[in-house]
Amino acid sequence: MGGGDPAKRDIATLSVGEAWGKEVVKKSPFSSQFSERDDNMKKLAQIVAFLVISITASYAVANDKNDSICVSFGEEFTIRENQTAFFKDTKTALHVKRFSKGVCAIPGSNCGSGWRPPSVQYDISFGGQILDLDSRKGIKRDKEQVFDVKVKESDYNTYAVMSVDRLLDVCEKENSPYCWEELAWATKDSIFCDRITEKWRAMQYKQNISQIMKNQDDKN
């Protein structure tokens, strides 16, 4: 041991010292405390982030519920501006965009044909897609996507009482030739024209029977 090269002994000593120093640092209680503190800070940051996300999501859901209602077809409901009515067990929704108290397109004391009456302006969507409700356009529509929308009451400022039903269901209930005609026009489906013919035949038959009975009564 004592006869070795001093330079080599120094190098060996330094190597052992460095190794021992690294081991001391590795096993130092201060190093462990710092590492544990870092882990705790990371966990705390994760918890805070989770709470912020949860609170934000809850607030968004609460707002969404406040801005929407769930109703059924044929049911009367009260709705406000920027509120959406979702219809149970369907893909249909009605969203009120704004109210209009009526305006005169041509200013003057006698508005005449320029008068635009009070209205509730709304969109109807099916499966998330806004439908084109302009029946004057030559668009072929699915019979399940044609609706009878009624405004029962409104101040045209803050609220409206409305009802929505499938036009097909309305026509089945009323069996009116005018309803079938509207549905045939909206869907571009001639099958509903046949229903118009059936209805008119039934009405004509009743009128003929009534006239025959009346004639017989007059003779008697």
Is there a single domain that holds both residue 13 and residue 40? yes
User: Would 191 be classed as within a structural domain?
Assistant: yes
Start-to-end C-alpha separation, the chain: 151
How many structural domains is the chain composed of? 2
Is there a single domain that holds both residue 114 and residue 191? yes
Q: Which helix (H) or strand (E) holds 25?
A: helix 6-27
The last residue of a domain, from among 35, 64, 93:
64
pLDDT of 24:
43
pLDDT per residue as tens digits for the range 11-41? 444 444 444 444 444 445 545 555 666 677 7
pLDDT range class, residue 200, cuts 50, 70, 90: confident
Is there a single domain that holds both residue 52 and residue 109? no
Is there a single domain that holds both residue 16 and residue 87? no
pLDDT of 106:
64
Is there a single domain that holds both residue 52 and residue 85? no
Is there a single domain that holds both residue 166 and residue 103? yes
User: Would 219 be classed as within a structural domain?
Assistant: no
25 or 191, which is more confident = 191
Region 183-210: mean pLDDT is 81
Is there a single domain that holds both residue 81 and residue 143? yes
Question: Alpha carbon 173 to chain centroid distance?
Answer: 28
User: Would 53 be classed as within a structural domain?
Assistant: yes
Q: How many percent of the chain have pLDDT more than 90?
A: 36
Amino acid at 148: D
User: Would 55 be classed as within a structural domain?
Assistant: yes
pLDDT range class, residue 119, cuts 50, 70, 90: very high
Most confidently modeled range among 36-40, 83-87, 193-197: 83-87
Phi-psi region of 175 (alpha: psi -120 to 50; beta: other; left: phi over 0): left
User: Would 218 be classed as within a structural domain?
Assistant: no
Is there a single domain that holds both residue 44 and residue 132? no
User: Would 216 be classed as within a structural domain?
Assistant: no
Let me know: does 99 contact 90? Beta carbons within 8 Å: no
Q: Which helix (H) or strand (E) holds 68?
A: strand 68-71
Cα distance between residue 188 and residue 171, in whole Å = 16
Is there a single domain that holds both residue 23 and residue 90? no
Cα distance between residue 47 and residue 84, in whole Å = 35
The last residue of a domain, from among 39, 64, 89:
64
DSSP 102-151: -EESS-SS--GGGEE--EEEEEEEETTEEP---TTS-----GGG-EEEEE
- List CB contacts of 211: < 8 A, sequence separation 6 or more: none
Is there a single domain that holds both residue 58 and residue 83? no
pLDDT per residue as tens digits for the range 129-172? 999 887 667 788 899 999 999 999 999 999 999 999 999 999 99
94 exposed, middle or buried (CB, 10 Å; 0-12, 13-18, 19+)?
buried
DSSP 116-127: E--EEEEEEEET
**Token digits of residue 25:** 């640092």
User: Would 139 be classed as within a structural domain?
Assistant: yes
User: Would 158 be classed as within a structural domain?
Assistant: yes
- Identify the residue whose tokens are 């710092």: 34
Is there a single domain that holds both residue 10 and residue 94? no
- Identify the residue whose tokens are 């079938």: 180
Q: Which domain holds residue 73?
A: 68-209
Alpha-helical runs (H) found in 28-115: 29-66
Is there a single domain that holds both residue 154 and residue 191? yes
